[in-house]
Amino acid sequence: MTQEFKIINPQCVPQVTLRTGDKMPIVGLGTFGSDRYTNQEIADAVKAAIRMGYRHIDCAEVYQNEKEIGAAIAEVIAEGVVSRDELWITGKVWNNRHREVEQSCRESLDDLGIDYFNLYLVHWPFPNYHAPFASPDDRNPDSQPFSVDEYMDTWRQMEGLVDKGLVKNIGTSNMTIAKFKATLPLMQILPVANEMELHPCFQQPELFDYVVSKQIQPIGFSPIGSPRRPERDRTEDDAIDIDHPVVQKIAKRLDVHPAVVCIKWGIQRGQVTIPFSVKSAQMFANLQASVQDLLTTEEMSQMETADCNSRLIKGQVFLWEGASGWEDLWDLDGAIATLVSNK
Ligand SMILES: NC(=O)c1ccc[n+]([C@@H]2O[C@H](COP(=O)([O-])OP(=O)(O)OC[C@H]3O[C@@H](n4cnc5c(N)ncnc54)[C@H](OP(=O)(O)O)[C@@H]3O)[C@@H](O)[C@H]2O)c1
């Protein structure tokens, strides 16, 4: 880190308490570089982030940078900046490893140079694999709609990771209420968290309230509206959160970038937030968002009006033959889409 940036005392950063009693810092650093940054740039950002006070890093095997991030973490631990037990490290099993979760988890742990994850997630509830850098129209002919049996087989393996001490907590990602209703009653170890797309223009109030009611902590990904996401995740009608007039008005009052308003809103709403950046000034501002200048109650109400249901990460590359469109992945009418789509 360049020394011009101050350090934020990690003990001042709020934490959420999960159903297991573990405490997760409310701001984490995202590590998906949207195909724009090198692994080394992202690893350097992880080092800088930990030095400035971040204690939560959101990783995934599919980001293909766990080795470099592992070396970065080892370096800051060796320097005495932090110890492993002060860090919260999340990992995720990718779609092509649903039948070999333990092996995939062990490989990620090896790459990261750690011996447990604080949280391990099923990244997507489908075993549908697309190659990194896939284009929006790429389809894998083996792709299938959601299957309760398949997911529960994966979940049993996730539960096994807790029993073996490889992970402290397990959770879900990109789930829907319909999929939760079908699977929660079958689980022996319940998810502590659900990682889901959450930003001012996509607030998912129904799913948010549902997971909170089940003691599942929402973790919001793409909290700034992922302004640099890959082309495959862009469509014409997508809203731009940082351009929204309510967001801009509050940013002006606080004299911060609109990105910081998105983060403050998320934290005050009660979601964990995992903004990505490799730039020290941005990383600092994003962490600082959690320790100063709250939005007023009136501003929080105004932020509710920014929601226009603008899903950005639609997941179209996970669709199966016969699906009618990306909406089939999200059970919009409350029913899980089947192989022959009836929508
Ligand atoms: N579970 C899942 O399926 C899933 C899906 C997507 C993402 N994620 C996780 O969520 C993380 C965050 O999401 P994301 O990377 O899609 O998007 P994001 O955090 O909403 O947006 C990141 C971009 O916002 C800009 N930015 C960050 N802080 C800023 C600041 N203070 N001021 C101005 N601009 C700022 C940066 O742009 P520049 O680089 O141009 O500066 C950065 O690349 C990912 O890295 C990943 O860890 C999980």
Going from the N-terminus, what domains does the chain have, and what CATH number goes with each? 11-342 (3.20.20.100)
Most informative mutation of 219, 224, 274 for ligand 1 (most atoms within 8 A of CB)? 224
> In the numeric block, which tokens belong to residue 102?
């333990």
Mean pLDDT of 12-27: 98
**pLDDT score recorded for residue 339:** 61
Helix (H, G, I), strand (E, B), or coil: what is residue 119?
Answer: strand
C-alpha of residue 31 to centroid of ligand 1, in Å:
8
C-alpha of residue 213 to centroid of ligand 1, in Å:
27
**Ligand 1: which atom is nearest the Cα of residue 199?**
20
Mean pLDDT of 237-265: 97
Mark residue 30 as left, alpha or beta (left: phi above 0; alpha: psi -120 to 50; beta: remaining). beta
The 10s digit of each residue's pLDDT in 137-192 is 777 888 999 999 999 999 999 999 999 999 999 999 999 999 999 999 999 999 99
User: pTM here?
Assistant: 0.96
Question: 200: Cβ below 6 Å to ligand 1?
Answer: no
**pLDDT score recorded for residue 4:** 58
Q: Is the pLDDT of residue 2 over 70?
A: no
Mean of pLDDT over the chain: 94
Question: 295: Cβ below 6 Å to ligand 1?
Answer: no
Q: Exposed, middle or buried, 205 (CB in 10 Å: 0-12/13-18/19+)?
A: exposed
C-alpha of residue 315 to centroid of ligand 1, in Å:
17
Question: 285: Cβ below 6 Å to ligand 1?
Answer: yes
> In the numeric block, which tokens belong to residue 226?
């992922």
Mean pLDDT of 10-20: 98
Give Cα separations from 25 to 49, 88, 273 (angstroms): 13, 7, 9
Give Cα separations from 307 to 201, 214, 267, 301, 304 (angstroms): 4, 23, 16, 11, 6
Percent of the chain with pLDDT over 90: 85
Q: What is the DSSP letter of 6?
A: -
Total residue length of the chain: 343
The 10s digit of each residue's pLDDT in 233-244 is 888 899 999 999
For residues 290, 71, 224 and 35, what is the CA-based torsion angle, rounded to 10 degrees? Answer: 180
**52-66, 136-150, 215-229, 269-283: range with lowest mean pLDDT:** 136-150
Active-site positions read 63
In terms of DSSP H, where are the helices of 3-113?
A: 39-52, 66-78, 101-112
Q: Is the pLDDT of residue 341 over 50?
A: no
Question: 173: Cβ below 6 Å to ligand 1?
Answer: yes
Q: Is the pLDDT of residue 230 over 90?
A: no
- Do residues 143 and 110 lie in contact, with contact meaning Cβ atoms separated by under 8 Å? no
Question: 195: Cβ below 6 Å to ligand 1?
Answer: yes
The 10s digit of each residue's pLDDT in 301-318 is 999 999 999 999 999 889
Contacts of 39 (CB under 8 A, 6+ apart): 33, 64, 65, 67, 68, 69
C-alpha of residue 30 to centroid of ligand 1, in Å:
6
| DSSP calls for 169-228 | -EEEES--HHHHHHHGGG-SS--SEEEEE-BTTB--HHHHHHHHHTT-EEEEESTT--TT
